[in-house]
Amino acid sequence: MKTIKKLLLLLVCMFLVTGCSTKEESVSFVEEQEEILEETEEEDRQTDSANILVVYFSRAGENWEVGKVEKGSTRIVAEYIAETIGADLFEIEPVEPYPESYDEMLEIASAEQKENVRPQIKNEPENWDQYDTIVLGYPIWYADMPMIVYNFLETYDFNGKVIYPFDTHGGSGLAGTVNSIKETLPGIEVKEGLPIVGKAVQNQFEDTKSIIDQWLKENELLK
């Protein structure tokens, strides 16, 4: 499609440039056409990613090996991915906010997991049906996804959608969560996940970006 547009523009340029009376007119005409071409390419990029939603859950405050952070590691990665591929972004927000204290958070998360609870979600994504690709980000809590992420997966219809999971963690990697997503959503396509160390996101994000870019390219989410 892009190639056809380029060829058409080139033909129009060649045809019209021959009709320009001065050299200046020809130069400014060609510059204008180049600008139009750049805008068209940008639109193509946006259109390609209009069907992708980056969904994430993340928590600011005290955390493992990073001290107290302003922005959660998963959120930093999710924002970077959405910006890089031009996709929409949705944060899963709890009705009951989680504490800043790491120790308190450990107790709550442990209880939620043991009791298999589904913490309530405050917000909902707009135009859910418009997306066929979901990039899903979450932190590892006790070698699993936070229970609120299970709630999200069980609340929305994923039929016809493909999930690309990523997590941030303190050493557990993906901790079997890709299989947990598959078990929660039987029949839904779930791609290979990307595990990222939370500490690296907070302290060396420039290095981490290349790992994320590579995963996006491998999955053809980034061209």
Ligand X SMILES: Cc1cc2nc3c(=O)[nH]c(=O)nc-3n(C[C@H](O)[C@H](O)[C@H](O)COP(=O)(O)O)c2cc1C
Residues found near ligand X in the complex (CB under 6 A): 58-59, 63-64, 72-75, 105-106, 109, 139-143, 168-172, 198
Residue nearest to ligand X (CB): 198
Measured from the CB atom, is 109 or 216 closer to ligand X? 109
Name the 3-class secondary structure at 113: helix
Amino acid of residue 27 = V
Give the residue from 180, 161, 165 showing the smallest Cα distance to 135: 165
* Nearest distance in Å: CB 126, ligand X: 23
CB of 152 to ligand X, least distance (A): 15
Rounded CA separation 5/97 (Å):
50
| Distance of closest approach, residue 61 Cβ to ligand X, in angstroms | 8
52 or 140: CB nearest ligand X: 140
Nearer to ligand X, 104 or 157 (CB): 104
What is the smallest separation between the CB atom of 218 and ligand X, expressed in angstroms? 22
**Length reported for the chain:** 223
Rounded CA gap, 74 and 11, in Å?
A: 47
Q: Of 48 and 100, which has the nearer Cβ to ligand X?
A: 100
Q: Which is nearer to ligand X, 16 or 211 (CB)?
A: 211
- In the complex, what is the shortest distance from the CB of residue 181 to ligand X, in angstroms, rounded to a whole number? 16
CB-CB neighbours of 168 under 10 Å: 28
Contacts of 99 (CB under 8 A, 6+ apart): 61, 105, 108
